[in-house]
Each structure stands twice: as structure tokens, then as C-alpha cells.
Amino acid sequence: MSNVAEFNTPQAKPGIDPNTMSIIVTKGSLDWAYPPFILGSTAAAMGLKVTMFFTFYGLNLLMKDLNLQVSSLGNPAMKMPIMGMHMGMPNLISTIPGVDAIASKMMKNLMKKKGIAPIQELRELAVEAEVRMIACQMTMDMFEYGIDDMIDGLEIGGAATYIEVATQSHINLFI
């Protein structure tokens, strides 16, 4: 039944545990929230030690109250399945007030219909799986985000904190 390739033991630099992963999360929209949380939570479920470093718009994903949005503006690859076809949105449409909110609602409904976990659930599973989550000090200060608006269990750090994690991590992703 299975036609998957053989899994070879990864050869990392001596001293680095191959089952380690870090992700820099830089985007905060609904669509961009998925890759880091799916990869981070799945890696943790597979026994990897995972660290996620949230910076710039990634900080948006750490808020207690999540209301993630997606925009069709400048997103030429976004073609939503509507009435059996795939329809792209002209950029002009996204400038109409309320359209982004509608697009976001549509996407969330589509996700619900297809049984895709909401970001809140993936985030909770990541926290439960002891994924280390670090919020970037500098961008928090820049955007004037308060730690109290964010979920519990976060560390705060800067670039050097992330670099140290990365030097000990076999897989390092920038999303």
C-alpha cells in the first residue's frame, strides 16, 4: 500500500540534535498563520523540539483574542472556489470598505466546512506540546503591543536569543 521513500537518518553538524526545529514567524494574516502553526505543532507531535520566534506581523498571531483577516489585495494567486469554479478578486474590489472582512469570513467558513482546524486550536495544541514560543522584544516595543494582550507562556527575546536557538537547531524556517 505504501509507496513512500525510505526515511534516512539525517546527518546534521556534529553536536546538533536532528530532531530540532525553529521557525521565524513574520506574517499575521489568516492564510499565513497556517504554515507555521501546522509545521510547528506537527513537528512537536513527531517528537521534535520546536521553537517559534514571532516578529513583526507574526506578533498578531500571539494575541489572546484572534480575529485574523485575509486580503485579496495584491494576492493574485488567491482564487477561491465559488460555484464550482475558481474566482480571483480584482484588486479594486478589495478597496471597498468591508470586503476584506467578508473575504476573511468566507475563508473561515470554507475552512470550517472542510474540517480545517482554526488557528486557536492549532496554537493551543502547540502550547500543549511544549513548543517554545518567543515574542520579539524589538517589534513588540515598536508596535506598542502589551504582553498582557498576548497568550500566556511566552518568552520575550531579541535577535541574539533567536540566533542561539538556531545554532542548536537542525531545521530553521523563515515564514
Partner 1 sequence: MADQVLDAKGLNCPLPILKTKKALKSLEGGNTLEVISTDPGSAADFAAFCRTTGNELLEQTEADGIYTYLIRKAG
Per CB under 8 A, residues contacting partner 1 are: 1-2, 4, 7, 38, 41-42, 45-47, 114-117, 121-122, 125, 129
Cβ-based nearer residue to partner 1, 3 or 85: 3
User: Whose CA is closest to 71, among 32, 39, 109?
Assistant: 32
Minimum CB–partner distance for residue 68 and partner 1 (Å): 18
79 phi, psi to nearest 5 deg: -125, 110
Task: Give whichever of 38 and 173 is closer to partner 1, judged by the CB atom.
Answer: 38
Give 7 or 84: the residue with its C-beta nearer to partner 1: 7
Distances (CA, A) of 64 to 101, 127, 144: 19, 13, 16
Q: Provide the pairing of β-strand 85-88 with 79-82.
A: antiparallel
CB of 114 to partner 1, least distance (A): 6
To partner 1, the closest distance from the beta carbon of 91 in angstroms equals: 30
CA distance 24 to 166: 10
